[in-house]
Every structure is written in structure tokens, then in C-alpha cells.
Chains A and B, each alone.
Chain A
């Protein structure tokens, strides 16, 4: 395994050329919200617009051909990154939309079925009845919770959840899956706690009752090797912008036979097979789920991000972050009045490190850190129920990525100490 050359990596990211707040070095510890972008990604996007810009899958001209080829090549690169087939990757505007695509497949199949409308073969797996169960976990991001709450509201299905242990892990004894359990939706890595979940264990429970498994991989795919052929799940949603890619693009991977049996979500141009005034038929996946002119430049940018990560090696990325996470946990443990919310050990744990400082509100901690050039996130991190579970109103969260090193951990620690000193707490 090779150590990442952080100085060389940082040189690829133009944003590190600037300073923040009174000429401070930028210590960017908010990659869990969105990552910074290397020049290679920006160049790829710019090159698309400057040399090949056209609406893909339309037009009889050379630019349209080139744009389409680049777009589909990007899909292939992204698919290969997670061991998938290109046609099983659907582009969405973000991970939230990808998760909604799945939840709305259930809703639309249920509504159409009740009205006796034609559905793709196999769609019965997506038809819910009153009393069916949808299982999530207590550590979900709102994006993998609220869509399922809404689906339950509209169909009469019942929402259940896997609870959490005091040390920030899933409590698999807190729930029993039943024959009524149709969907199990969970995160691969908690965006607040950092916990990496035992997906094989949950999959085994779900498979035993025939439930479909939806994985939110927003915090895992950017940070560690993920291979769909090794994970026994049915859908994986994630975003491009957290993995060095552009804003405005997310991905959904689904098992081919499931995607083929799902009714469309967003409808319009591109996603059709035939259209008459009375009705329409729909294209095969992935196009069935990609209505309108797609985000080709962003797909090309995301493929460039994946090339960049592949050059670093995802094993190396994971090992690098693991080392920083271990260091951060060790250093925070030494600070009086600072408490980490989530696993205190780096085992089965990603680099999202949330903490509270006794006597200080996270907003005030974040403000002092910002004054020191340290960018963190404060609040409930779109995972409000997790904060309630651990009886904290909010946390301060640092997340580490490929461009961070030990000096950034030290800057975080120094900033926390400065906040404690400023407000006269700790010690």
C-alpha cells in the first residue's frame, strides 16, 4: 500500500491557493458535505463545454455524437469503479433524487396497480399494501428517511427502524424483520457518527424475508473500495460532488432485473419509447429514468474524478483516512470537555468525526474554528434523529479526505482549544 503524497495532491486543487479569514491557510474539514475539486475535474468539464458541447442522445451532427460518446464513456467509467454494468447506472441530479427514484417506484407501482394500469413485468415487487413494512435505521441522513416516511404516508405501509447502541453502532437486536418487510434502506457509512455498517449482516436478515435492500453510499464510495458484486444489495445511491466530482450529478445503481421492472419516476423527453396523444411507452433502463437533456458535462467531470481516485488507489485513500481518523480520535480524547459522538475507535469507522464541547454550542465552536481557517460543519447534519438519540442538540463535525494530513488534525485541535479558552470553558 502506498502513502498518499498530500502535498502533491493539494497542488492539484486550485482552492488551496487561496486563503480564508484574515489570510489563514484553508483547513478544509467539510468534505462530508461536499469535497473540493481537482484541476483535472475542472479541466474535463471545461473541455467538454469548449470542444464537444451538444445535447446528448439527440442531433445528427458531429458534436452531438462526440458529446454522446463522452457521456456514455463516463457512465462506463463510473460503472467500472463499483464493479457494475454501465446500463445499470442511472444519472440523477444528486443522491437524494436517486433515493426518491426508488421510493417513487414503489409509490407509482402501487398507484398504477390499484388502478389496473399496465406495469413492467416483475413490478409486483414494488406494489405495497397497507401494513407492509419499510425498515430504515436511526442513523439515516434525512435523504434516506423522509422519502420513506412519505411513501408510508401515501401507501399505508409502516415505517420501522433499526435502533442504535450507545457506542454508535446498529443494534440489530432492536428489530425483527417479518414477511411484511418489503424494503430495508440504510446507510453504508453514517454521515454524522462515521460508523461503517455491517451490510452483509443486514442483507442476510433482509434476504431471509425477501426484502429489497437500498444502500445510501454517499459517505462510503468516495472513501473506500465499494464493489457491487461483493455487496448483497439491490440499489445503491450516491452523489458525485462528495467524491471530487462536480455538483449536480448523482448516481443510482440497481440490479438490472429490478430497474427493468420499475415504472418511471420523472417523465418527459428521452425516457420514452413511443408517444401518442393518449399514452406512451417507456425506454429501457437507464434511459427510462433520465428524462430531459442530461448533465453530460458533469458526468464527464465525475468520470475524471474517478480517474483521479483510481490513480490514487481506493485502498490507499481508505488507509490514509483511517490513519487521520485514528489520530483525530486520539487527539480529541486528550482534550478535557470534548466528547466524540459515534464510535471511539477507528475500526469499521470512516472519517466523519462529530463531537461536542462541554459548555459550548457547536455554532460557536464552528465560528472560532472558522476564524482559524478551519472549515467544519455544525448543526444536526441532516440527521436530526441521531442527535436526539444521543441527547445533543447539534454537533461539530470534521471530515477528512485525500487532501488532508496530520497538520489539519492539529489545526482542528488547536482551534478547539482556542474556542475553549475564548469562552472560558474546559481546562
Chain B
């Protein structure tokens, strides 16, 4: 079934064994994002480090796609710069809109989220944590647009 394209083994694995889940007490910015149509929620915190990288921690509840996506986010953009993280967020959005081909160097396991693109209702699930990261990262670095 087509669904297997969306629920790839790698996605289900992140869902069942999420990486980095759990909030750190120390943070400069905290955001709480929700998907009001389905009740998925994430609390995400960012702590800037002396070298300019951003440490992320999070706690969330929601569907397999939103949970797996947050786990992948942790793998890919924990302890990277605002610019590098933003590049990954923008690429994920472009991939899900099918305007860019999946780039494993940028997204790692996140390229497996390509299957979500065929289910428009689920794109928000995949993006929830990444949009929360962008929001918190901008707040934490004071680099508002």
C-alpha cells in the first residue's frame, strides 16, 4: 500500500524510539506550538552556546509523523548555528512542497519524510517541530526578521 511510502521503517523507528525527547531546564527561549486541527503539541527550548550553536530540547505529543519528525530534527539540527538550522527547515519545507529534491546531507533521516508530501493533511504534522525550532531559534538569538 502507498502508505508504506509515508510510514517508512525509519519513520516508525523514530516514532517508537524518539531521540532527544525531554526538556532541559536551562534555556533562553521556549515556544509552544500546536496543530489546532488535531491537537498535536510541542514545547521546544533553545539555549545558545558560546560558539554560536543552538542546543535544542523538546517534549511533545502527537501522531507518528510529528513525533518522528521531532526526533529527526534533534538528530539533524541540535547544536548547529541559526543559519545551518534555518537552511534545513527551509529545505524540509521545499521538499514537502516538492520544489526541491530530498538532500540527505541536509536532512539525514528526514528525507524519509518525502512520503508525507502526498498527504497534504499531514504536512503540518511533519513541519510542527521544525517551525517551533525556527520560532525559538530566532527568539533566542534576537535575530528577528
A residues engaging B (CB < 8 A)? 21-22, 361-364, 367-368, 371, 378-380, 384, 387, 393-394, 422-423
Contacts and interface: CB of A to CB of B under 8 A. Distances in A.
B2 interface: yes
A137 B119 CA distance: 36
**Chain B interface, DSSP helix/strand/loop, else mixed:** mixed
A371 B3 contact: yes
Nearest to A380: B39
B1 A378 contact: no
A364 B37 CA distance: 14
11 contacts: A22-B1, A22-B2, A362-B38, A363-B65, A363-B125, A367-B3, A367-B122, A371-B1, A379-B37, A379-B38, A394-B38
Q: How large is the interface on B (under 10, 10 to 19, 20 to 34, 35 or more residues)?
A: 20 to 34
Contacts of B62: 361, 363, 393
Given A22-B1, A367-B3, A384 B63 contact: no
Given A362-B38, A363-B40, A363-B64, 5 more contacts: A21-B2, A361-B64, A363-B125, A393-B41, A422-B3
A364 B122 CA distance: 10
Nearest to A388: B39
B7 interface: yes
A65 B53 CA distance: 73
B39 A384 contact: yes
Interface of B: 1-3, 6-7, 12, 37-41, 61-65, 67, 119, 122, 125
Contacts of A387: 39
B56 to A, nearest CB: 22
Given A367-B119, A379-B37, A387-B39, A361 B7 contact: no
A364 B12 CA distance: 11
Contacts of B122: 363, 367
Given A363-B63, A367-B122, A380 B3 contact: no
Contact of A364 (B2, B61, B63): B63
A387 B125 CA distance: 19
Candidate in A363, A368, A423 with the most chain B CB atoms within 10 angstroms: A363
A305 to B, nearest CB: 28
Contacts of A363: 38, 40, 62-65, 122, 125
A423 B63 contact: no
Contacts of B61: 393
B12 A393 contact: no
Contacts of A368: 3
A80 to B, nearest CB: 38
B14 to A, nearest CB: 13
A384 B38 CA distance: 10
Nearest to A372: B1
Nearest to A359: B16
A426 to B, nearest CB: 15
A361 B1 contact: no
The 4 closest A-B pairs by CB, nearest first: A363-B63, A361-B63, A394-B39, A379-B38
